[in-house]
């Protein structure tokens, strides 16, 4: 295909460049894979073509880039099995994931072409270049989240809450309602301490997003007692598997969703994400992107604690400069972040953010109430 740079469209070359908000944009986020640009903007090849677009058309162009790789439309193998994929022992699943990750770590130019990994803010760059009207958050909101996938993760949760509370943070914890006998006393104490509980699917079987609408609705109806008991206002899909149909159903029941990664990396599917760290409306619900690289995803690729800490803090600084929202996900199981070494890493990450002065800890609902409620 010729020179490697010919594979990309230089956004700055076809957009106005004298935007005050565009000062944060680096070369990495000022270019888009050519085949993707031809898909979302086939008629925009120069400044004159872009200048002919009115404001509404420019917003639609930004939305087209944001949603181009946002949905996982084809069910992965874990969703197509005739039984829950979690019937396969966890150690075996992790061995397979780590094997795939380490084998393909050096091939990120293919599986993270767009969005790039570990972070990609190209949608925000395009927005600032052609719109320039996105508000900055100052201080930058930091939303600390956990996906409680197992009973072990639930029982380890207090280890994380202690760290958070010591630094003035409160977390949003997405819990699977129908997989094990929940420790309701622990969840009640978590709520009473100021943390938040959200819904993490149904049974973590990865099938809900691909069900027929009536089946999907039935599952959410069965979840209603859990939602009401813990005043759940938000959702995160297991394995971050999401479809338009899922978000449309969520819009009937929740204030926000946080299932779309800024950069999905290798999992749950190559080249998935929204390339933005700013919230947006999708299928009638507020989407608060999972903007930071995830602990499990980095571990599957073979990154160690020090590398993970560097990736997290570097990503947070970039999100802050861009005017986005820092959304951090850690898993509480020992094989992920629920061990001594990774808990120390977690403490250092939060301590760095707490001591900076440019960040503000919030739960998902606090963020929604402060910045999103009433906006369309």
| One pLDDT digit (tens) per residue for the chain, 376 residues | 334 557 899 888 887 655 566 788 888 888 899 999 999 999 888 888 888 899 999 999 999 999 999 999 988 766 666 666 666 677 776 777 767 767 777 777 888 899 999 999 999 999 998 887 666 778 999 999 999 999 999 999 999 999 999 999 999 999 999 999 999 999 999 999 999 999 999 998 899 999 999 999 999 999 999 999 999 999 999 999 999 999 999 999 999 999 999 999 887 889 999 999 999 999 999 999 999 999 999 998 889 999 999 999 999 999 999 999 999 999 999 999 999 999 999 999 999 999 999 999 999 999 999 999 878 6
pLDDT at 340: 97
CA angle 300, 259, 291 (to 5 degrees): 70
* Structure-token pair, residue 240: 């971050």
Instruction: State how far the Cα of 95 lies from the Cα of 104, in Å rounded to an integer.
Output: 14
- In 3-state terms, what secondary structure has residue 116? coil
Beta-bridge mates of residue 359: 140
**Structural domains in the chain plus CATH codes:** 128-372 (3.20.20.370)
pLDDT at 1: 35
Q: What is the DSSP letter of 23?
A: G
Residues whose CB is less than 8 angstroms from the CB of residue 325 and which lie 6 or more positions away in sequence, other chains included = 137, 140, 141, 142, 143, 277, 278, 279, 288, 289, 291, 319, 367
- Strands 196-199 and 172-175 turn out to be parallel
- In 3-state terms, what secondary structure has residue 304? coil
- Number of Cβ within 10 Å of residue 176's Cβ equals 24
| Measured CA distances, 33 to 129, 131, 344 (Å) | 17, 21, 38
How would DSSP label each residue in 130-167?
HT--PPPPSSEEEEEEEEE-SHHHHHHHHHHHHHHHHT
């Amino acid at each position: 295909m010729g020179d490697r740079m010919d594979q990309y469209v230089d956004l700055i070359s076809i957009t106005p460049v004298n935007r005050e908000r565009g000062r944060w944009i680096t070369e990495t986020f000022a270019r888009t894979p050519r085949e993707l640009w031809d898909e979302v903007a086939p008629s925009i090849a120069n400044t004159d073509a872009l200048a002919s677009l009115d404001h509404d058309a420019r917003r639609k162009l930004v939305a087209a880039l944001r949603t181009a790789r946002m949905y996982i439309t084809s069910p992965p193998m874990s969703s197509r099995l005739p039984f829950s994929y979690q019937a396969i022992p966890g150690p075996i699943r992790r061995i397979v994931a780590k094997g795939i990750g380490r084998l393909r770590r050096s091939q990120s130019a293919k599986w993270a072409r767009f969005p790039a990994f570990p972070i990609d803010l190209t949608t925000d760059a395009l927005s600032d270049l052609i719109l320039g009207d996105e508000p900055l958050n100052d201080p930058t909101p930091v939303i600390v989240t956990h996906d409680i996938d197992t009973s072990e993760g639930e029982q380890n949760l207090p280890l994380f809450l202690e760290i958070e509370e010591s630094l003035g943070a409160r977390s949003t914890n997405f819990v699977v309602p129908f997989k094990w006998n929940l420790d309701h006393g622990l969840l009640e104490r978590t709520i009473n301490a100021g943390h938040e509980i959200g819904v993490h699917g149904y049974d973590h079987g990865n099938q809900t997003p691909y069900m027929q609408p009536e089946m999907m609705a039935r599952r959410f109806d069965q979840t209603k007692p859990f939602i009401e008991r813990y005043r759940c206002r938000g959702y995160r899909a297991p394995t971050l598997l999401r479809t338009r149909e899922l978000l449309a159903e969520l819009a009937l029941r929740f204030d926000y969703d946080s299932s779309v990664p800024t950069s999905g990396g290798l999992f749950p599917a190559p080249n998935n994400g929204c390339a933005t760290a700013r919230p947006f409306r999708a299928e009638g619900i507020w989407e608060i992107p999972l903007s930071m690289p995830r602990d499990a995803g980095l571990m599957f690729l073979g990154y160690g604690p020090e590398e993970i800490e560097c990736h997290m803090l570097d990503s947070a600084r970039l999100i802050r400069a861009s005017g986005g929202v820092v959304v951090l996900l850690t898993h509480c199981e020992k094989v992920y972040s629920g061990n001594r070494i990774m808990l120390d890493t977690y403490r250092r990450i939060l301590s760095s953010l707490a001591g900076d002065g440019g960040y503000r800890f919030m739960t998902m609902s606090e963020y929604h109430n402060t910045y999103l409620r009433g906006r369309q």
